[in-house]
A and B are shown apart, each in its own frame.
Chain A
Amino acid sequence: KNQVEQSPQSLIILEGKNCTLQCNYTVSPFSNLRWYKQDTGRGPVSLTIMTFSENTKSNGRYTATLDADTKQSSLHITASQLSDSASYICVVSVGGANNLFFGTGTRLTVIP
């Protein structure tokens, strides 16, 4: 069964601290993995997208890693800011844009 699981479900950190969010998947055949940031009441915004051959990809303070062998990905956020408070969703694709499997998301709250 194709599934995407994320942990933790929620996380509270102090402003300026780093954090790492986890994503495990059983989706097959794997095409690519994306991390999205979703602010409350807004649509998801793409942070990174990685294919099978990519191990790491950065976008500013966001760094995603992918281990296709263990089917795990992580999203590391450095020097967190209050504006990082959002839900972070891991999405795995099975071939093209039409077949996406969504994780349940990690709700990150950054406090001053």
Chain B
Amino acid sequence: GAVVSQHPSRVICKSGTSVKIECRSLDFQATTMFWYRQFPKKSLMLMATSNEGSKATYEQGVEKDKFLINHASLTLSTLTVTSAHPEDSSFYICSAAGLGHYEQYFGPGTRLTVT
């Protein structure tokens, strides 16, 4: 099956700093990648959708200047949380879909803690 990895698996950063999370599709070309955040005991909430080589499409209420998404290649997308605040602490999950695939393949998630 398709494998998606994320790095790091967990990160702790200080308030005001920026942190980058990587999402990689290991064995297929991901034409579309998705970024989700998940709060404790809640379901996944879509933040943005990115197509390779294009600007990401953000969901309503998600600040594009705060959550910078880059999808420069067919196997890598990055999410940068800029000027992080404690309320940004959450579980961030990416997923990827290839051309012609009708399923998203999820990464293992990244636990972000902002102190």
Question: Which residues on A are within 8 Å of B, measured CB to CB?
Answer: 31-32, 34, 36, 41-46, 49, 89, 93, 96-98, 100, 102-105, 107
Contact = CB atoms under 8 A, between A and B. Distances in A.
27 contacts: A34-B103, A36-B106, A41-B91, A41-B109, A43-B4, A43-B107, A43-B108, A43-B109, A44-B44, A44-B93, A44-B106, A45-B106, A46-B105, A49-B103, A89-B44, A96-B102, A97-B97, A97-B101, A97-B102, A97-B103, A98-B32, A98-B49, A98-B97, A100-B104, A102-B43, A105-B43, A107-B41
Interface string B79-115: 0000000000001010101000111111111010000
Contacts of B41: 107
A97 B105 CA distance: 9
Interface string B39-69: 0011111100100000000000000000000
User: Helix, strand, loop or mixed for chain B's interface?
Assistant: strand
A102 to B, nearest CB: 5
B102 A102 contact: no
B43 A97 contact: no
Interface of B: 4, 6, 32, 41-46, 49, 91, 93, 95, 97, 101-109, 111
Given A41-B111, A97-B32, A98-B97, A103 B43 contact: yes
Given A41-B109, A43-B108, 17 more contacts: A31-B102, A32-B102, A36-B106, A42-B108, A42-B109, A43-B4, A43-B106, A43-B107, A44-B93, A93-B102, A97-B103, A98-B32, A98-B97, A100-B46, A100-B104, A102-B43, A102-B44
